[in-house]
Chains A and B, each alone.
Chain A
Amino acid sequence: MKDISRINNPYDDDKLTACCSIFGMMSVERRTFSGSDIMTAIASMHDRGNGLGGGFAVYGLYPEYADHYAMHIMFTHSAARQQVEDFLSDGLVIAKSERVPTRSVQAVTDSPDIWRYFVSVKPSKSEAAGEDDYVVRQVMTINTTLDGAYVFSSGKNLGVFKGVGFPEDIGRFFCLDEYEGYLWTAHGRFPTNSQAWWGGAHPFSILDWTVVHNGEISSYGTNRRYLEMFGYTCTMHTDTEVIAYGVDLLVRRHSLPVELLARVLSPPMWTVLSYMEPSERELCQTLRQVYGSLLMNGPFTVIIAHQNEMIGLTDRVRLRPLVAGVKKDMLYLSSEESAIRLICPDLSESWSPMGGEAVIGRVGQPLVPTQSLAAA
């Protein structure tokens, strides 16, 4: 048994606070591109981080294994790897396993051993519970009980690369310029506790969901206790974890359309409801009455990504910045506009969405002017 909370939160803070930079870019035509641009963009927001955490999520990078769960797992010692592989083999068929290629970067030191496994669920296990639920449970078990191991990501055709270092250095370390993906998100971190752990960097992921987040959720205590009722164990003590679980609950388990996420996480003020059309008002009111404990209060900007969507959202009174940019099939989301301009100087359009109004890029849906991109 291991106490991951102690590892990630060694001073036993209520939760970890961090200030950060975030960036996201996707091609709605599923056109793939390398990580060079995003590394440049996140590097330009260098001052928002302090080198104690950086990470990327990449979608579409494993086309030959697109139907397999791609598990990125870090090990701090070799015995851990054997133990995890034995554990995985119980219910999963491992189609391929290999060490994740890295290159030597001066600024990145003390790296753990990071492997990737392409797995599928054995029929016996998938009959008992759904495949997804089974994988989630296995990941939780590894993360909370198996010493020296931590799962970075476990989605299909998705990889999370993260560690202790500035994001641009982490990107170089993982050779991200050599991968091709159609949706990339990045995060640079400035945690307030000085001991850093590779597993604690962002993005946080659960199945195909990844979240990068900038801000401080003051409703964390409420959100966490609510999610724990549904079986989620919040071991990381971070806002990002709670947002990811919240999204998993609402979209995967409760089948709410992605467009309504904003209405739950950053609902409009009650006064605004009185000016809505009756059917919309009733929907918003009901969502808030039922999911009031998932209201994310406090300043935040998040980029939530999935196989087919990239969603940018800020808190209801926009205490954290978010800029969106569009050029042809590319949608950009960033904490600062300058980062987008650096890699794409001639955007056809750029804007800041209103607080609580999501920007959603969806594969297969062409990007049209602002009003249509913002969720209703």
Chain B
Amino acid sequence: MKSYVLPELEVIRDQARCIRCRVCERQCAWKVHVYDGEDDVMRHCEENCVGCQRCAVFCPTKALAVRPYSGSYRPNANWTDDRIRDLIKQSEAGGVMLTGMGCDKPHRVYWDHLLLNASQVTNPSIDPLREPMELTTYLGAKPERVDLRDGELATELAPQVRIEIPILFSAISYGAISYQAQEALMRAASELGTLCNTGEGGWPASLRKYADNTVVQCASGRFGVDREYLNLAKIVEIKIGQGAKPGIGGHLPGEKVTEAISKTRMIPEGTDALSPAPHHDIYSIEDLAQLVCALKEATDYKKPISVKIAAVHNSAAIASGVVRAGADIIAIDGIRGGTGAAPKIIRDNVGIPIELALAAVDDRLRREGIRNRCSVIAAGGFRNSGDVTKALALGADAVYIGTPALMAMGCTLCQKCYTGICNWGICTQDPYLSKRINPDIAARRLVNLLRGWSLEIKEMLGGLGVNAVESLRGNRLHLRGIALQEWELEVLGVRGAGN
């Protein structure tokens, strides 16, 4: 069938600069660039281009520019270019259209409408470069009070896990990303004193040396979940849903299930790895309580059990149920959360922004008097330390980041992860491509990113006159909304700027 779709991207090559070194040809697994030996010239096929920018970055003479196709359909506010393309593509391919990474639609980003406070006169800013500024966080359920007997501590806490910064690497499965990329994440987590979530793809044996910094997931597919998996991890997380695709399961196509993946996920090579939509043993809240209890038994009550849910309309009520079901940690993933593969229509239309969900959950748990029974981790679309700081002020104990971590390693959001072809070596099992990630360098990039963010967060905390992250947690008074409607301010529990 001839495709009627206009190209999405075009490649511009400055022939005067091009030295025919063929680096672009070697770097592009999409086979966009081809050397024509007869005419001694580089040629390209734009239809293949996904806009990952690998060639433009690596071209030694900066001869390449990759940009949106300069042609367009007739302007139409309702039938935008991408909607037209999607429609045509679907009529040519049939089936569910997939995509990768997080929702790219112009839903309101509330982080951009929240502003932080700073001290002026009535209390001093604290200078984090010289005075102590504490980001250390303990994840886990806290009791209501501390009891002493004869001057000695009588209270025993539920299991706690300490992280040095309130930022963790989100659940990204081995299979969705390459082994090298996952190693880089775990190594960085280890160096930073935080945690990395294995995702639902199991946990390669050779990466279990990072056990002290690992959260394992027990997802609906239960991939790789065995005794050692549970015994070694710091936290066990029951994955109910994720922000990119609330309510549906996951699908790793058979061609991505290589020998290594098969071993890690403990499924036969070449078979599809399917994660069912629900856990088939959780059809109601009391079933969740049962699974939480089962995991606590399996881990001898020594590890916090986390439950990850997607941010949906009644997240507040759900969260209350999850906490009462015994979860030590609740992770909420908003609509901007990333993914290796999700139906595009679900990614873009299902779920709510994490800002609103977080505010509602934190508020609801407090009103019920149970906020201290769990730590709340927010996920889905954090782009910088400003977003993180605002999340803390809304009530999060910590945040999960996925997309920024991958971007630190090179990802440019071309959204083709589901194909298994990734010129940056991240979302691929192709050994030639995945070799492009040097775990040492990638780990360094990750550490750099979070180091920068930590310093920025400290600056913002210090600017607020606070020297411990506990004092910003849930402190809505240090936020103001801007260009928001009344109901939005009410849900977020913040006042308008100037008010």
Residues of A participating in the B interface, judged by any CB pair closer than 8 Å = 12, 14-15, 17, 19, 192, 215-216, 218-222, 225-226, 228-230, 253-257, 260, 269-271, 279, 282-283, 286-293, 295, 297-299, 316-317, 319
Contact = CB atoms under 8 A, between A and B. Distances in A.
A367 B144 CA distance: 35
A290 B131 contact: no
Give the interface centre of A192, A225, A254, A255 by most chain B CB atoms within 10 Å.
Answer: A225
Interface stretch (B97-105, B116-124, B436-444): B116-124
Nearest to A316: B467
Nearest to A270: B136
B471 A295 contact: yes
A15 B143 CA distance: 29
A59 B312 CA distance: 55
Given A271-B132, A279-B153, A317-B467, A220 B477 contact: yes
Given A270-B136, A290-B145, A14 B122 contact: no
Contacts of A228: 366
Contact of A297 (B131, B366, B369, B468): B468
B109 to A, nearest CB: 23
Bin the interface of chain B by size: 35 or more
Contacts of B478: 218, 221
Contacts of A290: 142-146, 155, 157, 372
Nearest to A284: B153
Give the interface centre of A14, A219, A228, A282 by most chain B CB atoms within 10 Å.
Answer: A219
Contact of A218 (B119, B134, B142, B155): B119
Contacts of B473: 222, 292-293
B146 A221 contact: no
A-B complex: 10 closest residue pairs judged by Cβ atoms? A219-B471, A297-B471, A221-B475, A221-B477, A216-B123, A292-B470, A218-B465, A254-B145, A14-B477, A222-B475
B458 interface: no
B151 A299 contact: no
A256 B466 CA distance: 26
Contacts of A221: 474-478
A254 B466 CA distance: 27
Given A192-B122, A257-B151, A298-B466, A289 B475 contact: no
B303 interface: no
Contact of B123 (A257, A271, A289, A299): A299
B39 interface: no
A225 B474 contact: yes
B464 interface: yes
A15 B146 contact: no
Contact of B472 (A222, A226, A255, A283): A222
B347 interface: no
B453 interface: no
Contact of B470 (A216, A219, A317): A219
Contacts of A271: 132
Contacts of B122: 17, 19, 192, 216
Nearest to A220: B477
